[in-house]
Amino acid sequence: MSRKILDGIKVLDLTNVLSGPFTTLHLALLGAEVIKVENPKDGDLARKLGIVPGLNKQLMGTSFLAQNCNKLSITLNTKSPEGKELFRKLVKDADVLVENFRPGVMERLGLGYKSLAEINPRLIYCAISGFGQTGPDALKPAYDQIIQGLSGEMAVNGDERLNPLRTGFPVCDTVGGLNAAFAVMAALFHRERTGEGQFIDVALLDSIMPLMGWVAANLLIGGEQPVLMGNDNFTAAPSGTFRTQDGHINIAANKQEQWEAVCEVLEVPELKTDPRFQERDTRKKNRKALTPLLEAKLAQRPTAHWVEALNAKDVPSGDILTLEAALRQPQVQHRKVLQKVPVAGIGEVEVFGLTALFDKTPGSVDTPPPTLGEHNRTIYGALGLSETELSELKTKGVI
Protein backbone atom coordinates (compact mmCIF):
# COMPACT_ATOMS: atom_id res chain seq x y z
CA MET A 1 0.00 0.00 0.00
CA SER A 2 1.29 3.47 -0.90
CA ARG A 3 2.43 5.70 1.92
CA LYS A 4 0.66 9.05 2.03
CA ILE A 5 2.59 12.30 2.11
CA LEU A 6 1.22 13.44 5.48
CA ASP A 7 1.20 10.10 7.28
CA GLY A 8 2.05 10.77 10.92
CA ILE A 9 1.01 14.45 10.85
CA LYS A 10 -1.64 15.37 13.43
CA VAL A 11 -3.91 18.35 12.70
CA LEU A 12 -6.25 20.00 15.18
CA ASP A 13 -9.11 21.46 13.16
CA LEU A 14 -11.12 24.14 14.97
CA THR A 15 -12.67 25.46 11.77
CA ASN A 16 -16.26 25.94 10.68
CA VAL A 17 -18.28 26.09 7.44
CA LEU A 18 -15.96 26.24 4.39
CA SER A 19 -12.60 28.03 4.20
CA GLY A 20 -11.03 26.15 7.12
CA PRO A 21 -12.68 22.78 6.48
CA PHE A 22 -11.57 23.02 2.84
CA THR A 23 -8.01 23.53 4.09
CA THR A 24 -8.08 20.55 6.42
CA LEU A 25 -9.87 18.38 3.86
CA HIS A 26 -6.83 18.62 1.61
CA LEU A 27 -4.52 17.77 4.50
CA ALA A 28 -6.75 14.79 5.36
CA LEU A 29 -6.80 13.55 1.77
CA LEU A 30 -3.00 13.65 1.85
CA GLY A 31 -3.01 11.35 4.87
CA ALA A 32 -2.89 13.66 7.90
CA GLU A 33 -4.82 12.68 11.02
CA VAL A 34 -7.29 15.57 11.15
CA ILE A 35 -9.19 15.90 14.42
CA LYS A 36 -12.18 18.22 14.23
CA VAL A 37 -12.61 19.92 17.60
CA GLU A 38 -16.30 20.89 17.68
CA ASN A 39 -18.60 22.53 20.20
CA PRO A 40 -20.61 19.90 22.09
CA LYS A 41 -24.02 21.39 21.25
CA ASP A 42 -24.17 21.19 17.46
CA GLY A 43 -20.62 21.25 16.12
CA ASP A 44 -19.49 22.78 12.85
CA LEU A 45 -22.20 25.14 11.55
CA ALA A 46 -21.96 23.40 8.16
CA ARG A 47 -23.63 20.38 9.77
CA LYS A 48 -26.88 22.39 9.55
CA LEU A 49 -26.20 24.07 6.20
CA GLY A 50 -27.52 22.09 3.29
CA ILE A 51 -30.39 21.65 0.90
CA VAL A 52 -31.81 18.52 2.62
CA PRO A 53 -33.62 19.48 5.87
CA GLY A 54 -33.57 15.92 7.19
CA LEU A 55 -29.78 15.75 6.96
CA ASN A 56 -29.47 19.15 8.65
CA LYS A 57 -31.48 17.80 11.60
CA GLN A 58 -29.10 14.85 11.79
CA LEU A 59 -26.20 17.36 11.86
CA MET A 60 -24.95 15.81 8.63
CA GLY A 61 -25.94 18.49 6.12
CA THR A 62 -24.78 18.32 2.54
CA SER A 63 -22.42 21.25 3.11
CA PHE A 64 -20.70 19.28 5.87
CA LEU A 65 -20.61 16.03 3.92
CA ALA A 66 -18.85 17.78 1.05
CA GLN A 67 -15.81 18.97 3.04
CA ASN A 68 -15.12 16.53 5.87
CA CYS A 69 -14.15 13.06 4.68
CA ASN A 70 -11.13 11.38 6.29
CA LYS A 71 -11.53 13.41 9.50
CA LEU A 72 -12.16 12.48 13.12
CA SER A 73 -14.58 14.42 15.36
CA ILE A 74 -14.38 15.19 19.05
CA THR A 75 -16.50 17.61 21.05
CA LEU A 76 -14.94 20.09 23.45
CA ASN A 77 -16.05 23.24 25.22
CA THR A 78 -12.83 25.26 25.13
CA LYS A 79 -14.42 27.97 27.29
CA SER A 80 -14.47 25.68 30.32
CA PRO A 81 -11.38 25.16 32.51
CA GLU A 82 -11.51 21.41 31.95
CA GLY A 83 -11.88 21.98 28.21
CA LYS A 84 -8.84 24.24 28.09
CA GLU A 85 -6.79 21.66 29.96
CA LEU A 86 -7.81 18.89 27.57
CA PHE A 87 -7.10 21.10 24.58
CA ARG A 88 -3.59 21.87 25.81
CA LYS A 89 -2.97 18.14 26.16
CA LEU A 90 -4.03 17.66 22.53
CA VAL A 91 -1.70 20.44 21.43
CA LYS A 92 1.38 18.83 23.02
CA ASP A 93 1.90 16.37 20.17
CA ALA A 94 -0.01 18.15 17.40
CA ASP A 95 1.81 19.25 14.26
CA VAL A 96 -0.73 21.71 12.89
CA LEU A 97 -3.63 23.76 14.24
CA VAL A 98 -6.09 25.45 11.89
CA GLU A 99 -8.79 27.89 13.02
CA ASN A 100 -10.99 30.42 11.26
CA PHE A 101 -12.33 32.47 14.14
CA ARG A 102 -12.36 36.25 14.14
CA PRO A 103 -8.97 37.64 15.25
CA GLY A 104 -8.51 37.67 19.01
CA VAL A 105 -10.93 34.86 19.87
CA MET A 106 -8.27 32.28 20.64
CA GLU A 107 -6.20 34.79 22.62
CA ARG A 108 -9.20 35.61 24.80
CA LEU A 109 -9.59 31.91 25.52
CA GLY A 110 -5.94 31.77 26.55
CA LEU A 111 -5.26 29.47 23.59
CA GLY A 112 -3.52 31.83 21.17
CA TYR A 113 -0.41 30.91 19.24
CA LYS A 114 2.10 32.34 21.72
CA SER A 115 0.74 30.38 24.68
CA LEU A 116 0.40 27.18 22.64
CA ALA A 117 3.91 27.54 21.19
CA GLU A 118 5.24 27.44 24.75
CA ILE A 119 3.67 24.00 25.08
CA ASN A 120 4.75 22.88 21.60
CA PRO A 121 7.39 24.99 19.78
CA ARG A 122 7.05 22.79 16.67
CA LEU A 123 3.36 23.70 16.28
CA ILE A 124 2.29 25.24 12.98
CA TYR A 125 -0.68 27.47 13.73
CA CYS A 126 -2.75 28.67 10.76
CA ALA A 127 -5.37 31.36 11.37
CA ILE A 128 -7.83 32.03 8.54
CA SER A 129 -10.02 35.14 8.64
CA GLY A 130 -11.79 37.51 6.31
CA PHE A 131 -9.28 40.33 6.51
CA GLY A 132 -6.29 38.93 8.36
CA GLN A 133 -5.07 39.41 11.91
CA THR A 134 -4.02 43.05 11.48
CA GLY A 135 -5.20 46.19 9.70
CA PRO A 136 -8.15 48.59 9.90
CA ASP A 137 -10.71 45.95 8.88
CA ALA A 138 -9.29 42.99 10.82
CA LEU A 139 -12.15 42.77 13.31
CA LYS A 140 -14.99 43.15 10.84
CA PRO A 141 -17.24 40.14 10.20
CA ALA A 142 -16.90 38.60 6.76
CA TYR A 143 -18.56 35.92 4.68
CA ASP A 144 -17.64 34.92 1.14
CA GLN A 145 -20.04 37.33 -0.56
CA ILE A 146 -18.72 40.28 1.45
CA ILE A 147 -15.18 39.46 0.32
CA GLN A 148 -16.34 39.02 -3.29
CA GLY A 149 -17.65 42.57 -3.20
CA LEU A 150 -14.69 44.14 -1.41
CA SER A 151 -12.08 42.40 -3.56
CA GLY A 152 -13.30 43.90 -6.85
CA GLU A 153 -14.17 40.40 -8.07
CA MET A 154 -17.89 41.16 -8.39
CA ALA A 155 -17.13 44.42 -10.21
CA VAL A 156 -15.30 42.70 -13.07
CA ASN A 157 -18.00 40.08 -13.70
CA GLY A 158 -21.00 40.31 -15.98
CA ASP A 159 -21.74 42.86 -18.69
CA GLU A 160 -23.50 46.20 -19.02
CA ARG A 161 -26.85 44.50 -18.34
CA LEU A 162 -25.85 42.57 -15.23
CA ASN A 163 -23.19 44.01 -12.97
CA PRO A 164 -22.02 43.68 -10.24
CA LEU A 165 -22.26 39.91 -10.44
CA ARG A 166 -21.44 37.33 -7.80
CA THR A 167 -19.58 34.19 -8.78
CA GLY A 168 -21.97 31.23 -8.58
CA PHE A 169 -20.06 29.43 -5.82
CA PRO A 170 -18.13 30.67 -2.74
CA VAL A 171 -14.88 31.31 -4.59
CA CYS A 172 -13.25 33.42 -1.86
CA ASP A 173 -13.78 30.78 0.82
CA THR A 174 -12.44 27.97 -1.34
CA VAL A 175 -9.45 29.94 -2.65
CA GLY A 176 -8.68 31.04 0.90
CA GLY A 177 -8.79 27.39 1.96
CA LEU A 178 -6.41 26.36 -0.81
CA ASN A 179 -4.07 29.21 0.09
CA ALA A 180 -4.05 28.06 3.71
CA ALA A 181 -3.40 24.42 2.73
CA PHE A 182 -0.49 25.54 0.54
CA ALA A 183 0.87 27.64 3.40
CA VAL A 184 0.63 24.77 5.89
CA MET A 185 2.50 22.46 3.52
CA ALA A 186 5.21 25.09 3.06
CA ALA A 187 5.49 25.54 6.83
CA LEU A 188 5.80 21.77 7.31
CA PHE A 189 8.63 21.77 4.76
CA HIS A 190 10.35 24.61 6.63
CA ARG A 191 9.97 22.69 9.88
CA GLU A 192 11.58 19.63 8.31
CA ARG A 193 14.68 21.72 7.64
CA THR A 194 14.77 23.79 10.85
CA GLY A 195 12.58 22.14 13.47
CA GLU A 196 10.67 25.43 13.86
CA GLY A 197 6.93 25.82 14.03
CA GLN A 198 5.35 29.16 13.14
CA PHE A 199 2.20 31.27 12.91
CA ILE A 200 0.44 31.66 9.54
CA ASP A 201 -1.98 34.52 8.92
CA VAL A 202 -4.29 33.88 5.92
CA ALA A 203 -6.91 36.44 4.84
CA LEU A 204 -9.68 35.66 2.37
CA LEU A 205 -9.39 39.17 0.92
CA ASP A 206 -5.66 38.74 0.32
CA SER A 207 -6.18 35.27 -1.14
CA ILE A 208 -8.67 36.14 -3.87
CA MET A 209 -7.08 39.30 -5.24
CA PRO A 210 -4.01 37.71 -6.92
CA LEU A 211 -6.38 35.52 -8.93
CA MET A 212 -7.30 38.66 -10.84
CA GLY A 213 -3.66 39.17 -11.76
CA TRP A 214 -4.12 39.80 -15.47
CA VAL A 215 -7.04 42.17 -14.96
CA ALA A 216 -5.19 43.97 -12.18
CA ALA A 217 -2.02 44.20 -14.27
CA ASN A 218 -3.94 45.94 -17.05
CA LEU A 219 -4.93 48.58 -14.50
CA LEU A 220 -1.76 48.79 -12.42
CA ILE A 221 0.70 48.65 -15.32
CA GLY A 222 -1.34 49.57 -18.38
CA GLY A 223 -3.62 52.13 -16.75
CA GLU A 224 -6.69 50.47 -18.27
CA GLN A 225 -9.87 50.09 -16.21
CA PRO A 226 -11.64 46.71 -16.47
CA VAL A 227 -14.17 46.51 -19.28
CA LEU A 228 -17.36 44.52 -18.70
CA MET A 229 -17.22 41.82 -21.37
CA GLY A 230 -19.57 39.13 -20.09
CA ASN A 231 -18.56 35.83 -21.68
CA ASP A 232 -15.95 37.37 -23.97
CA ASN A 233 -12.25 37.03 -23.18
CA PHE A 234 -10.39 40.34 -23.22
CA THR A 235 -7.09 38.73 -24.32
CA ALA A 236 -8.18 37.76 -27.83
CA ALA A 237 -10.96 37.56 -30.43
CA PRO A 238 -12.75 35.40 -31.24
CA SER A 239 -12.48 34.16 -27.68
CA GLY A 240 -15.67 33.70 -25.73
CA THR A 241 -19.16 32.22 -25.98
CA PHE A 242 -21.07 32.01 -29.26
CA ARG A 243 -24.55 30.83 -30.26
CA THR A 244 -24.92 27.64 -32.30
CA GLN A 245 -27.88 25.84 -33.83
CA ASP A 246 -28.78 24.13 -30.55
CA GLY A 247 -27.11 26.16 -27.83
CA HIS A 248 -23.73 27.72 -27.21
CA ILE A 249 -20.05 26.97 -27.70
CA ASN A 250 -16.87 28.31 -26.14
CA ILE A 251 -14.15 29.15 -28.64
CA ALA A 252 -10.70 30.43 -27.64
CA ALA A 253 -8.76 31.37 -30.77
CA ASN A 254 -5.94 33.13 -28.95
CA LYS A 255 -3.25 32.60 -31.58
CA GLN A 256 -3.22 34.00 -35.11
CA GLU A 257 -3.10 30.52 -36.64
CA GLN A 258 -6.12 29.53 -34.54
CA TRP A 259 -8.06 32.51 -35.84
CA GLU A 260 -7.23 31.51 -39.39
CA ALA A 261 -8.30 27.93 -38.64
CA VAL A 262 -11.67 29.23 -37.36
CA CYS A 263 -12.18 30.99 -40.70
CA GLU A 264 -11.42 27.79 -42.56
CA VAL A 265 -13.69 25.56 -40.45
CA LEU A 266 -16.59 28.05 -40.63
CA GLU A 267 -15.91 28.55 -44.37
CA VAL A 268 -15.44 32.31 -44.15
CA PRO A 269 -11.92 32.68 -45.61
CA GLU A 270 -12.63 36.28 -46.59
CA LEU A 271 -12.56 37.31 -42.92
CA LYS A 272 -8.86 36.46 -42.72
CA THR A 273 -8.01 39.41 -44.95
CA ASP A 274 -10.77 41.75 -43.81
CA PRO A 275 -8.87 44.79 -42.42
CA ARG A 276 -11.18 44.86 -39.37
CA PHE A 277 -10.11 41.36 -38.36
CA GLN A 278 -6.74 40.68 -39.94
CA GLU A 279 -4.57 41.59 -36.96
CA ARG A 280 -5.04 40.48 -33.37
CA ASP A 281 -5.45 43.92 -31.79
CA THR A 282 -7.84 45.19 -34.45
CA ARG A 283 -9.92 42.01 -34.09
CA LYS A 284 -10.30 42.71 -30.39
CA LYS A 285 -11.46 46.26 -31.09
CA ASN A 286 -13.97 45.01 -33.66
CA ARG A 287 -15.29 41.94 -31.84
CA LYS A 288 -18.86 43.30 -31.84
CA ALA A 289 -18.77 43.30 -35.63
CA LEU A 290 -17.06 39.92 -35.80
CA THR A 291 -19.32 37.92 -33.47
CA PRO A 292 -22.53 38.09 -35.57
CA LEU A 293 -20.60 37.08 -38.70
CA LEU A 294 -19.33 33.97 -36.94
CA GLU A 295 -22.65 33.18 -35.29
CA ALA A 296 -24.40 33.28 -38.67
CA LYS A 297 -22.27 30.29 -39.64
CA LEU A 298 -22.32 28.59 -36.24
CA ALA A 299 -26.14 28.66 -36.26
CA GLN A 300 -26.14 26.24 -39.21
CA ARG A 301 -24.87 23.27 -37.20
CA PRO A 302 -25.19 21.93 -33.60
CA THR A 303 -22.57 22.55 -30.94
CA ALA A 304 -21.20 18.99 -31.05
CA HIS A 305 -20.31 19.35 -34.74
CA TRP A 306 -18.39 22.58 -34.22
CA VAL A 307 -16.56 21.32 -31.12
CA GLU A 308 -15.26 18.32 -33.04
CA ALA A 309 -14.37 20.29 -36.16
CA LEU A 310 -12.58 23.11 -34.32
CA ASN A 311 -10.68 20.85 -31.93
CA ALA A 312 -9.52 18.81 -34.93
CA LYS A 313 -7.86 22.00 -36.21
CA ASP A 314 -6.26 22.66 -32.80
CA VAL A 315 -8.67 25.45 -31.92
CA PRO A 316 -9.66 25.11 -28.24
CA SER A 317 -13.43 24.79 -28.08
CA GLY A 318 -16.04 23.09 -25.95
CA ASP A 319 -19.67 22.71 -25.00
CA ILE A 320 -21.09 24.64 -22.04
CA LEU A 321 -22.37 21.93 -19.75
CA THR A 322 -24.85 21.95 -16.93
CA LEU A 323 -23.33 21.09 -13.57
CA GLU A 324 -24.85 17.61 -13.71
CA ALA A 325 -23.48 16.96 -17.19
CA ALA A 326 -20.08 18.33 -16.16
CA LEU A 327 -19.88 15.97 -13.18
CA ARG A 328 -20.81 12.99 -15.37
CA GLN A 329 -18.61 13.68 -18.39
CA PRO A 330 -16.22 10.84 -19.33
CA GLN A 331 -13.04 12.85 -18.69
CA VAL A 332 -14.07 13.68 -15.13
CA GLN A 333 -15.03 10.05 -14.51
CA HIS A 334 -11.73 8.85 -15.96
CA ARG A 335 -9.79 11.16 -13.60
CA LYS A 336 -11.85 9.96 -10.61
CA VAL A 337 -12.57 13.53 -9.54
CA LEU A 338 -15.59 12.20 -7.66
CA GLN A 339 -15.34 9.28 -5.24
CA LYS A 340 -18.02 7.34 -3.43
CA VAL A 341 -18.07 6.86 0.32
CA PRO A 342 -20.69 5.07 2.47
CA VAL A 343 -22.17 7.19 5.28
CA ALA A 344 -24.00 5.38 8.07
CA GLY A 345 -27.71 6.13 8.10
CA ILE A 346 -27.52 8.03 4.80
CA GLY A 347 -26.08 5.62 2.26
CA GLU A 348 -23.43 6.05 -0.38
CA VAL A 349 -22.59 9.66 -1.25
CA GLU A 350 -20.30 11.15 -3.86
CA VAL A 351 -17.63 13.61 -2.80
CA PHE A 352 -14.62 15.24 -4.40
CA GLY A 353 -11.28 13.56 -3.87
CA LEU A 354 -7.77 14.98 -4.18
CA THR A 355 -7.40 16.42 -7.68
CA ALA A 356 -3.60 16.40 -7.74
CA LEU A 357 -2.65 12.88 -8.82
CA PHE A 358 0.57 11.68 -7.16
CA ASP A 359 2.07 8.52 -8.64
CA LYS A 360 3.96 7.51 -5.47
CA THR A 361 1.87 9.04 -2.66
CA PRO A 362 -1.73 9.24 -3.91
CA GLY A 363 -4.44 10.87 -1.85
CA SER A 364 -7.78 9.13 -1.42
CA VAL A 365 -11.15 9.28 0.29
CA ASP A 366 -10.90 6.59 2.94
CA THR A 367 -13.53 7.36 5.60
CA PRO A 368 -16.85 9.22 5.61
CA PRO A 369 -17.42 12.57 7.33
CA PRO A 370 -17.70 11.90 11.07
CA THR A 371 -20.78 12.24 13.20
CA LEU A 372 -20.49 14.84 15.96
CA GLY A 373 -18.17 13.57 18.69
CA GLU A 374 -17.82 10.18 17.02
CA HIS A 375 -14.20 9.81 18.12
CA ASN A 376 -14.38 11.17 21.67
CA ARG A 377 -13.68 7.79 23.22
CA THR A 378 -10.74 7.07 20.91
CA ILE A 379 -9.00 10.44 21.16
CA TYR A 380 -9.63 11.15 24.82
CA GLY A 381 -8.93 7.54 25.72
CA ALA A 382 -5.50 7.95 24.17
CA LEU A 383 -4.97 10.86 26.58
CA GLY A 384 -5.63 8.48 29.48
CA LEU A 385 -9.23 9.41 30.32
CA SER A 386 -11.39 6.61 31.66
CA GLU A 387 -15.01 5.88 30.74
CA THR A 388 -16.07 7.31 34.09
CA GLU A 389 -14.15 10.54 33.48
CA LEU A 390 -15.60 10.87 29.99
CA SER A 391 -19.11 10.40 31.37
CA GLU A 392 -18.53 13.09 33.99
CA LEU A 393 -17.16 15.52 31.37
CA LYS A 394 -20.17 14.88 29.17
CA THR A 395 -22.53 15.56 32.06
CA LYS A 396 -20.77 18.87 32.72
CA GLY A 397 -21.03 19.86 29.06
CA VAL A 398 -17.24 19.87 28.61
CA ILE A 399 -17.48 17.29 25.80
pLDDT, tens digit, 9 for 90 and up, residues 155-192: 999 998 999 999 999 999 999 999 999 999 999 999 99
d(CA 343, CA 65): 9
Contacts of 343 (CB under 8 A, 6+ apart): 60, 65, 349, 368, 369
Structural domain span for residue 80:
10-210+334-396
The full DSSP string for 331-389 is: HHHHTT-EEEEEETTTEEEEEE--SS--SSS-----SPPPPTTTTHHHHHHHTT--HHH
Measure the CA–CA gap between 209 and 175, rounded to whole angstroms: 10
Residues 343 and 309 in one domain: no
- pLDDT recorded at residue 242: 98
* Total domain count, the chain: 2
DSSP labels for 190-237? HHHHH---EEEEEEHHHHHGGGGHHHHHHHHTT-------TTS-TTSS
Q: Give, in order, the Cα–Cα distances in Å from 186 to each of 35, 70, 208, 356, 376.
A: 21, 22, 19, 16, 30
Q: Is residue 32 domain-resident?
A: yes
Catalytic residue of the set 13, 173, 232, 319: 173
In a domain? residue 384: yes
Tell me how far apart the alpha carbons of residues 369 and 71 are, in angstroms, rounded to a whole number. Answer: 6
Phi, psi of 319 (to 5 degrees): -70, 165
Domain assignment of residue 376, yes or no: yes
Does residue 217 form part of some domain?
A: no
353 and 315, same structural domain?
A: no
Q: Are residues 200 and 344 in the same domain?
A: yes
Domain match, 184 and 80 both? yes
| Best CA proximity match to 300, nearest among 269, 339, 266 | 266
For 212-266, write each residue's pLDDT tens digit: 999 999 999 999 999 999 999 988 999 999 999 999 999 999 999 999 999 999 9
Do 148 and 70 share a structural domain? yes
For residues 300 and 351, membership in a common domain is answered with no
Domain contains 329:
no
Q: Cβ distance 125 to 97 under 8 Å?
A: yes
Give me the amino acid identity at 225. Q
**Residues 270, 390 share a domain:** no
d(CA 362, CA 248): 37
- End-of-domain residue from the set 289, 319, 349: 319
CB count within 10 Å of CB 285 equals 13
pLDDT of 2: 67
Domain end call among 294, 319, 344: 319
- Could you give the 3-state DSSP secondary structure of residue 103? coil
- pTM for the predicted model, two decimal places: 0.94
* Positions in the chain whose pLDDT score sits under 50: none
Answer with the one of 264, 285, 319 that is the final residue of a domain.
319
Are residues 196 and 310 part of one domain? Answer: no
Instruction: Output the domain CATH number for residue 266.
Output: 3.30.1540.10
* Chain mean position to CA 85: 33
Q: Does one domain contain both 304 and 173?
A: no
173 is catalytic: yes
Please tell me whether residues 203 and 281 are part of one structural domain: no
User: Same domain for 173 and 296?
Assistant: no
Q: What is the CATH number of the domain that holds 384?
A: 3.40.50.10540
Residue 235 maps to a domain: no
Considering the domain architecture, whether residues 300 and 202 belong to the same structural domain is answered as no
